């Protein structure tokens, strides 16, 4: 399996705090800008004068308020539209009114670098080195700034954390792209990321809860680099749907230290032009350290979940893909395309990968697929009504341009249910060896319930309906 176009093409800002002495205004003490913390107010009807510290005298822009704020301050932003691009270079909390505070810049400027690409970031919100930003109840909308872009070297980003940390709560990020998805000239560029976390010195971390990311060009959420940690919980990530220009990823975690992706919904990432390695993915996990992906709903993506390793990043050290609902993996290429439409792909991994208690169904191709994977535990899953095999173990593997293990070996496939699939219930192909298949229940699969063309695989207590429906014979107990 080769995933190339599923790669990321991926943005940041700077602010100076103001210093003012304590003053008395309208008989009320107002904290000075040297006092840590406090609340500042922003309103679309305000003016950029003073300290922004009275709700009755708010300032007009978030940018101005950031400049007045001390570390650990809260900026309270009212309902309205704020045509701004801004940088956070200190510890701040920015809180809006849910569904009513809209940050909609009409143009974007390059304000940071990207440690992973030669493209130049153009972020709406840039959180710079050492800063800690908490954003709540905001909408970040890139639509009005799309005219800023005229080349693939420019990379629009909704929220960019670069050597920084942050928390997003009930934040919506939408339409982060160089142009509309109907424009081939720029929408095919490997750029346009809703939320991007990257590290080239120090460390970065992000926690997301209850957020929405839609209409992105390349990645909804991207977390990269060895000192980066991300937790994405209870969030909804929705691509632009089937299109001929872009193989997008909903959530991408690439070369990161650790990631937790829990109770999220990721859908509608699909590339219709085809070609090996150009699949779009819902959840893309590649070369990461510790991964927990649990309770997610993944649907309508070319590959709903791709877990891969090419050996160039942190070695997988406890990957758990558990209790997810994975359905309707798509093959929207005219006439069909090999490698599209799998529910869950495990490719090139060699250590500590557990795929457990998932429901994988109605994929255009196979349900759970192991290619060039070693020491994977596949247990307690339901793989029903997929167009190909319910569970496939074989090869060859191959992650982008990295080493390509050709066989899946010493894997454990136990206690799974595979019914009504268009191929085999469970298929150990010629590129499988030394794996264990036990206690599985298979029924009414169109080819065979069980098939083994590999070397040295072990089968025991596997149940078939109709009885004895295996190739070779006697695999069924």
**pLDDT tens profile 268-313:** 999 999 988 899 999 999 999 999 999 999 999 999 999 998 877 6
pLDDT at 437: 98
Range of the domain at 418: 343-353+360-477
Provide the 3-class DSSP secondary structure of residue 383. strand
Domain presence at residue 222 = no
Domain presence at residue 162 = no
Q: Are 405 and 428 in contact (CB under 8 A)?
A: no
pLDDT at 45: 97
Provide the 3-class DSSP secondary structure of residue 143. helix
378: tokens are 């596949």
Give 11-42 pLDDT, tens digit per residue.
Answer: 332 333 332 222 222 233 333 333 468 999 99
pLDDT at 115: 94
Residue 7: pLDDT above 50?
Answer: no
Provide the 3-class DSSP secondary structure of residue 184. helix
What is the Cβ-side half-sphere exposure of residue 381, based on CA atoms within 13 angstroms? 31
The DSSP bridge pattern shows strands 382-384 and 417-419 to be parallel
More confident: 34 or 414: 414
Q: What is the DSSP letter of 269?
A: -
Spatial CB neighbours of 466, under 8 Å, sequence gap ≥ 6: none
Provide the 3-class DSSP secondary structure of residue 145. helix
Task: Give the C-alpha separation, 473 to 465, whole Å.
Answer: 14
Domain presence at residue 133 = no
Low-confidence winner among 4-8, 176-180, 375-379 (lowest mean pLDDT):
4-8
Residue 441's CB is within 10 A of a number of other CB atoms, namely: 17
Mean pLDDT of 75-93: 98
Residue 114: pLDDT above 90?
Answer: yes
Strand locations in 219-268 (E)? 219-224, 228-233, 236-238, 249-254, 258-262, 265-267
Domain presence at residue 385 = yes
Give 367-394 pLDDT, tens digit per residue.
Answer: 999 999 999 999 999 999 999 999 999 9
Bridge partner residues of 214 (DSSP): 174, 238
Q: Are 368 and 394 in contact (CB under 8 A)?
A: no
* CB-count exposure of residue 88 (10 Å: 0-12, 13-18, 19+): buried
- With a pLDDT cut of 70, the percent of the chain lying above it is 91
Is the dihedral angle over the CA atoms 366, 321, 199, 161 positive or is it negative? positive
pLDDT at 254: 95
pLDDT at 184: 85
359: tokens are 């429901």
Q: What is the mean pLDDT of the chain?
A: 91
Domain presence at residue 194 = no
This prediction's pTM: 0.92
9: tokens are 């093409």
pLDDT at 404: 60
Total count of domains within the chain: 1
113: tokens are 């670098």
49: tokens are 């004068």
Domain presence at residue 82 = no
Domain presence at residue 401 = yes
- With a pLDDT cut of 90, the percent of the chain lying above it is 85
Task: Give the C-alpha separation, 474 to 477, whole Å.
Answer: 7
Smallest CA-to-CA distance from 229 within 269, 200, 260, 250 is with: 260
Provide the 3-class DSSP secondary structure of residue 418. strand
Domain presence at residue 30 = no
Task: Give the C-alpha separation, 95 to 113, whole Å.
Answer: 27
159: confidence class by pLDDT, cuts 50, 70, 90: very high
More confident: 257 or 17: 257
């Amino acid at each position: 399996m080769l995933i190339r176009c599923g790669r990321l093409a991926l943005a940041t800002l700077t602010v100076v705090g103001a210093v003012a002495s304590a003053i008395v205004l309208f008989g009320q003490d107002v904290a000075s800008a040297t006092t840590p913390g406090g609340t500042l107010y922003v309103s679309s009807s305000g003016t950029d004068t003073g300290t922004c510290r009275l709700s009755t005298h708010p300032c007009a822009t978030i940018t101005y308020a950031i400049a007045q704020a001390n570390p650990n301050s809260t900026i309270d932003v009212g309902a309205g539209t704020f045509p701004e691009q801004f940088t956070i270079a200190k510890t701040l909390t920015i809180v809006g009114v849910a569904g009513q505070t809209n940050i909609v810049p009409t143009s974007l400027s390059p304000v940071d670098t990207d440690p992973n690409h030669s493209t130049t970031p153009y972020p709406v919100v840039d959180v710079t080195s050492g800063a800690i930003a908490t954003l709540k109840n905001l909408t970040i909308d890139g639509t009005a700034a799309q005219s800023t872009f005229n080349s693939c070297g420019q990379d629009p980003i909704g929220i960019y954390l670069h050597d920084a940390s942050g928390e997003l709560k009930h934040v919506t990020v939408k339409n982060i792209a160089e142009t509309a998805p109907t424009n081939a000239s720029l929408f095919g560029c490997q750029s346009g990321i809703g939320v991007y976390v990257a590290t080239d010195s120090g460390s970065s971390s992000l926690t997301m809860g209850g957020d929405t990311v839609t209409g992105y060009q390349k990645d909804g959420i991207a977390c990269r680099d060895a000192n980066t940690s991300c937790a994405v919980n209870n969030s909804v990530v929705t691509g632009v749907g089937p299109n001929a220009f872009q193989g997008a990823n909903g959530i991408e975690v690439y070369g990161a230290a650790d990631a937790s992706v829990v109770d999220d919904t990721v859908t509608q990432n699909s590339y219709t032009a085809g070609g090996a390695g150009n699949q779009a993915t819902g959840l893309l996990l590649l070369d990461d350290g510790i991964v927990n992906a649990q309770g997610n709903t993944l649907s309508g993506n070319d590959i709903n979940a791709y877990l891969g390793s090419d050996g160039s990043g942190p070695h997988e050290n406890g990957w758990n893909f558990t209790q997810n609902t994975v359905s309707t993996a798509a093959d929207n290429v005219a006439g069909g395309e090999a490698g599209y439409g799998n529910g869950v792909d495990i490719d090139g991994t060699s250590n500590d990968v557990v795929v457990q208690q998932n429901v994988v169904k109605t994929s255009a191709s196979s349900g759970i697929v192991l290619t060039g994977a070693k020491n994977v535990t596949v247990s307690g899953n339901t793989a029903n009504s997929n167009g190909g095999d319910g569970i496939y173990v074989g090869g060859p593997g191959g992650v982008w341009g990295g080493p390509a293990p050709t066989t899946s070996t010493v894997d454990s496939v136990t206690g799974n249910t595979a019914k009504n699939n268009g191929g085999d219930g469970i298929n150990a192909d010629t590129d499988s060896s030394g794996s264990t298949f036990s206690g599985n229940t298979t029924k009414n699969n169109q080819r065979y319930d069980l098939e083994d063309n590999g070397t040295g695989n072990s089968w025991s207590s596997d149940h078939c309906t109709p009885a004895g429906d295996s190739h070779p014979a006697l695999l069924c107990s």
